[in-house]
């Protein structure tokens, strides 16, 4: 049994990640976001290791967003995922690309949001008072397809895990041959 455990020293559950947000003002959230828009949430859809929040965009206040925008977040509030209700209008503060969980980065065409990013229920009128007039969504921006939502790093991590496993097996075999 000890032999098996020493072959897999790096295979553990890893650290737990709980959501802990530092309070920020709406202007601070605006400054930190790459994209800010107001839109009605149409649906919460499953995505790889995430939830895809699909919005009909009404006004864009920062960055670029199309008439339909998907924002990814984790599926749990405990890991800072957004908990949003379809039919509700939100001011959405999102980053382009980035990570939802450690080691799982999305490409720059994917919008990512979290409980800590500042997204909140807010109509266009209130947002216009806070952020200026805004502009209509861009007709040239399309929602990323499922291939763009695929995580960029899992293959690298799998290759690294395979190399560590192979190294552990090689050490065990050498120790067995030496005795």
pLDDT digits (tens, 9 = 90+) for 7-33: 434 444 444 556 778 788 888 999 999
What is residue 140's predicted lDDT score, i.e. its pLDDT? 73
Record the tokens describing residue 100, joined without a space. 């939802």
User: What pLDDT was estimated at residue 3?
Assistant: 43
- Give the model's pLDDT for residue 50: 87
Residue 66: per-residue pLDDT? 92
Range of the domain at 136: 16-151
Domain contains 173: no
Q: What is the pLDDT of residue 78?
A: 73
CATH number of the domain at 41, please. Answer: 2.40.50.120
- The DSSP letter of residue 177 is H
Number of domains into which the chain is organized:
1
Is 97 domain-assigned? yes
Which tokens in the block code for residue 66?
A: 């199309």
pLDDT, one tens digit per residue, over 73-90 is 987 767 788 989 999 999
Which contacts qualify for 149-158: CB closer than 8 Å, 24 or more apart? 149/47, 149/48, 149/50, 149/52, 149/72, 149/106, 149/110, 150/48, 151/48, 151/49, 151/104, 151/105, 151/106, 152/105, 152/106, 152/107, 153/103, 153/104, 153/105, 154/104, 157/103
- Regions of the chain with pLDDT less than 50: 1-15, 151-153, 155-160
Report yes or no on 1 lying in a domain. Answer: no
């Amino acid at each position: 049994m000890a032999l098996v455990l020493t072959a897999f020293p790096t295979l553990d559950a890893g650290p737990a990640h709980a959501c802990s947000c530092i309070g920020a003002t709406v202007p601070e959230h605006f400054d930190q976001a790459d994209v800010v828009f107001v839109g009605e949430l149409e649906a919460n859809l499953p995505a790889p290791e995430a939830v895809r929040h699909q919005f009909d965009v009404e006004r864009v206040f920062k960055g670029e967003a199309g008439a339909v925008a998907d924002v990814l977040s984790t599926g749990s509030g405990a890991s800072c995922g957004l908990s949003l209700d379809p039919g509700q209008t939100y001011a959405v503060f999102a980053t382009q690309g980035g990570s939802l969980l450690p080691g799982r980065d999305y490409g720059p065409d994917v919008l990512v949001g979290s409980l800590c990013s500042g997204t909140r229920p807010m109509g266009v009128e209130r947002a216009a008072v806070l952020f200026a007039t805004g502009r209509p969504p861009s007709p040239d921006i399309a929602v990323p397809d499922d291939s763009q939502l695929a995580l960029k790093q899992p293959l690298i991590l799998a290759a690294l895990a395979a190399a560590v496993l192979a190294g552990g097996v090689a050490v065990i075999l050498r120790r067995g041959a030496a005795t």
